[in-house]
Amino acid sequence: MTSRMVRRTRMAGFGARVPVCLVLLLAGLAVPADEARADSNECRRVPALSEGPAPALGRITAAGRTAFLKDGLAQDGCPEAGAACRERAYLVAGDGVILTDRRGSHVCATYPGARDGVDRTGWLPAAAVADEPAGALTPEGWFGTWTRAEAEIRLAAGVKPGTVAVKGDATWGMGDPERMRRGGVHTGEIEGEVTPAGDAARFAMGEGGSVPVETADAYTCKVWLRRLGPWLVVDDNLACGGANVTFRGVYRRRP
C-alpha cells in the first residue's frame, strides 16, 4: 500500500462408538473449503491464475477516498458500505488495481503498492472502479527482470521465434534473521520456455524441458503468468520449491 495508506492503517477416540445422530450432525456441519470461502465473501489473497475469474485491470475513478471494505471472515455481513465494514486503508482517483471476483455491488481488488512493494487486497465498491483496457502486448512486452519480496523472475527471448524464456528464483524465510542464522531458509526455482497467448502464458517443468500444464501431474511444478498493465502476475501449484516456497504474487519490472 502507498505511504498515505500506511499512515492511516494498517471426538470420539479410537474404538468409541459414536451415535448415528451425532455422525449425521457433523456431516451436516462439514462445508467444503470453496463453499466456506464463498459464504464468507473472502477477498484477501493475490489474484489466482490457475482457477477462478481471470484478473483484469481497473482504475479508481471516484472522487475523494475509496476505502477498502472488510470481508465476511473479518466481520459478519461484510462487505457493505457502512462504517462497520470500512477499513482504514483507502485509494484515490487514478490508482490502478487488479480486479478479480465481483459480488453484487462490490469487486475484489488488489492494489500493488508502488513505493514500498506491499500489496493490499480487499473489497471495493464497484461503482468507484472503472475497467481499463490492457492494450496489445508483444513478446517484447514480457522481457525484463521482475521482482517481488523474496522472488525474482527473468524473462527474455526464447530460442524459438515468438517464445519467452523464463528463469526465476524464490525463497521463504529470508526476512527472519533467526531462520537465516540456522540455515532454515527454503528455496525454489523455475525454468522453461513458453509461447504466450496474448497477455497469458503457462508451462510445467518436465524432465526434458517445458511441457503443457494439462499433461503434468500434481507433483510437477506448474506456473501461470499474466501481464497486466505495469505488472506481472504469477501463480503456481506450490510444487516449485521447498516447504512454503511459492512464486505467487504481483511483480514489478526492475528499471
32 within domain boundaries: no
What residues are paired with 151 via a beta bridge?
Answer: 148, 170
105 & 203 share domain: no
91 within domain boundaries: yes
Span 136-143, mean pLDDT?
Answer: 89
Q: How many domains does the chain have?
A: 2
98 & 156 share domain: no
48, three cell numbers: 489466482
For residue 143, how far is the Cα from the chain centroid?
21
Span 227-242, mean pLDDT?
Answer: 96
Instruction: Give the whole-angstrom CA distance, residue 99 versus residue 43.
Output: 11
- Domain of 92 in residue numbering reads as 44-131
pLDDT per residue as tens digits for the range 173-201: 988 888 888 888 999 999 999 999 999 99
163 & 241 share domain: yes
pTM beyond 0.75: the answer is: yes
What CATH number should be reported for the domain holding residue 57? 2.30.30
Contact call for residues 60 and 91 (beta carbons, < 8 A)? yes
pLDDT per residue as tens digits for the range 50-88: 987 889 999 999 999 999 999 999 999 999 988 999 999
pLDDT-derived band of residue 13, with 50, 70 and 90 as boundaries? very low
Strands (E), 149-199: 151-157, 164-172, 186-194
Confidence at residue 116, expressed as pLDDT on a 0 to 100 scale: 52
125 & 145 share domain: no
244 within domain boundaries: yes
Confidence at residue 114, expressed as pLDDT on a 0 to 100 scale: 62
Top pLDDT among 70 and 32 is at 70
Residues 6+ apart with CB under 8 A from 51: none
76 & 109 share domain: yes
Asked whether the predicted pLDDT for residue 35 surpasses 50, the reply is no
Confidence at residue 110, expressed as pLDDT on a 0 to 100 scale: 96
Residues 6+ apart with CB under 8 A from 198: 137
Residue bearing cell 513458453: 194
180 within domain boundaries: yes
204 & 101 share domain: no
Instruction: Give the whole-angstrom CA distance, residue 52 versus residue 101.
Output: 8
35 within domain boundaries: no
For the beta carbon of residue 148, count every other beta carbon within 10 angstroms: 21
